[in-house]
Chains A and B, each alone.
Chain A
Amino acid sequence: MATVLVAEDDADIRDLIIFKLEQTGHAVIAVGDGLSALKLAHEQSPEIVLLDVMMPGMSGIDVCRALRQDPETAGLPIILLTARAQESDVETGLTAGADDYIVKPFSPRVLADRVHSVLARTRA
């Protein structure tokens, strides 16, 4: 099981994600904005990062790009949370270096599965 860093400004969704991931046995560090996510990604060295795209200040895409540019965090698996299947969002997200994305509205179980499979893929 892994340490997951979650950045999501919507407190409801954040709590739901925390619950689901802890239920499936992960340790969760959760923050409400992009900047804190960037900071904790360095300080806490999580094994995977879950970023909401739409956050005030730095967006998930901004954070994703910043993580990829820094050699220390360049290899960190990243999953983006985005609204509906908007092609451009997915595209910019993947160009910015995300490994996978989850579309809102989302099913908590699918989210947990996705975290699991991205971890499995990157650990392999």
Chain B
Amino acid sequence: MSAAAAVADLLAGEILDAVRTGAQWTLAMISAILLVYSVAINTSYLMLIFLATWDAVDSHRKSRFFSQEDIYANPLTPPVSVIMPAYNEEAGIAEAVRSMLSMRYPTFEVIVVDDGSKDGTFERLREEHDLVELPRVVPDDIPIRGTVVSTHVPANGSTPLLVIRKTNSGRADALNVGINFARHPLVCMVDADSLLDPSALLLVARPFADDPLNVVATGGVVRIVNDCDVVGGRVTRVRMPRRWLVRIQVLEYLRAFLLGRTGWSRIGGLLIISGAFGLFRRDVLAEVGGLDPDSIGEDAELVTRLHRYLRDAKRDYRIVFVSEPVSWTEAPSSRAVLARQRRRWSRGLAELLWKHRGMIANPRYGRVGLLTLPYFVLFELLAPVVNLGGLALVPIALWADAINVPFALALLLASYGYAVLVGFVALAVEEYAFRRYNSWRDLGVAAVASVAENFGYRQFNAWWGLQGIFAALRRTKQVWGVMTREGFSTPGRSTGGNRG
């Protein structure tokens, strides 16, 4: 062996060593970042929950002196147009409209937009309400894509119902048509398959009555109806769902939708109002051009655009989340349907953040720009990436000796143990402030579900989230998850799950 070869060998060895040290160092760094990230994300949940609790305590106190009767009996409670888009909803539409019409609210109208259904959606309504055709001039506040075919009202001339038939053009466009036809200053968007508590509208309208010059939008709580008792379009008894997949979603809704949004609302940075239950000022909707039919997460996109528009116009405004009024919705009970839903959510978020990237970290947009949007990028959009990345990386880092076992445990603890703690805190707040689940058994189930969430469900969720982000990157044609539903109703029997 020549001397040169020996030197080369030695050098190669050193390079290898350097590479190995470099790799180890990088892995260790990434692991450290993962640790910080996990602690930060869970702490942020905890903070949102604390903010929400504060809010819940307030409204709890308020409800001792101010009953719903006050809002109901107040002549200044603004009239509401409820818009319900419907596409192939023949199974549940009659029940949905009936329960909507018996909502408790001083003055309101219900506008059903039949978005070119191919089934008996319209027939059901025609039979039930004895509809006659009332020709209407089609309003043009918000540009629309579909064509209005005909407009119908009940023959008795007094039931405040309007049924619009139009060619199919998607949910967002259907809602825009409804907004155009709405007669009242407030517009409430609901899904045909969600059930509202009878007083939900009163409660969600209250911020408008309290502060009419500033409030532009309010959103309500969405809870999961699977396996609850439903009679006559009302949820009469709340139960934990039978399947673990849905039980975990109950906890997830509680943490993310109820407490998370209440928290954001408390600090004036609310970004998402669920499409299943939101109330908006009609004139402001018309000014911003309604919902974006090209957006896949049109509800969140609308609220973001409202923030942007009102900030640009330098107007004082408030967007409020109300933690009491409840809209009940059916959650996916099969993995395939859940996967489609989550891919869509994550893709919608990615596209929304891209569309409004100019607002991110922009001081001009106040708390939404500086706090909410960066938070959503870091902790909502990127969470699946970090979550799965960490899952793949930790074993490698352990194997490569970049981290030791205690550190790996610390990581697990920060991301999973802490998450369980957050889940329990959320549960405690639910127990203290809302108390919707009454039996001891439901409480036990909830506790187990908040632990079980971390094993399997979370990883799948992250995977679907990742797929959604990729779909957004590829800008594939938007494909909506199809959910086939059974109708609600049938007295004495609970609702069935979805067959997706």
Contacts and interface: CB of A to CB of B under 8 A. Distances in A.
Q: Do chains A and B directly touch (beta carbons under 8 Å) in the complex?
A: yes
Interface of A: 33-35, 38, 53-59, 61-62, 65-66, 83-84, 86, 88-89, 91-92, 95-96, 104
Contacts of A33: 236
B113 interface: no
B231 interface: yes
Contacts of A65: 98, 102, 232
A62 B68 contact: no
A58 B73 contact: no
Interface in B95-119: 98-99, 102, 104-107
B72 A83 contact: yes
Contact of B198 (A59, A83, A88, A104): A59
Contacts of B73: 83-84, 86
Contacts of A57: 197-198, 231, 234-237
A54 B199 contact: yes
Interface residues of B, number: 25
Given A57-B235, A84-B73, A86-B72, A62 B99 contact: yes
Contacts of A53: 104
A58 B234 contact: yes
Contacts of A59: 102, 104, 198, 234
A123 B19 CA distance: 98
Contacts, number: 69
A35 B72 CA distance: 23
Nearest to A87: B106
B331 to A, nearest CB: 20
Given A33-B236, A35-B236, A56-B197, A62 B72 contact: no
Closest 10 CB pairs of A and B: A59-B198, A57-B236, A35-B236, A83-B69, A84-B73, A58-B234, A61-B102, A62-B232, A57-B234, A62-B102
A65 B106 CA distance: 18
B233 interface: yes
Contacts of A38: 231, 491
Contacts of B229: 35
A88 B106 contact: yes
B231 A58 contact: yes
A40 B231 CA distance: 15
Interface string B57-101: 000000000001100110000000000000000000000001100
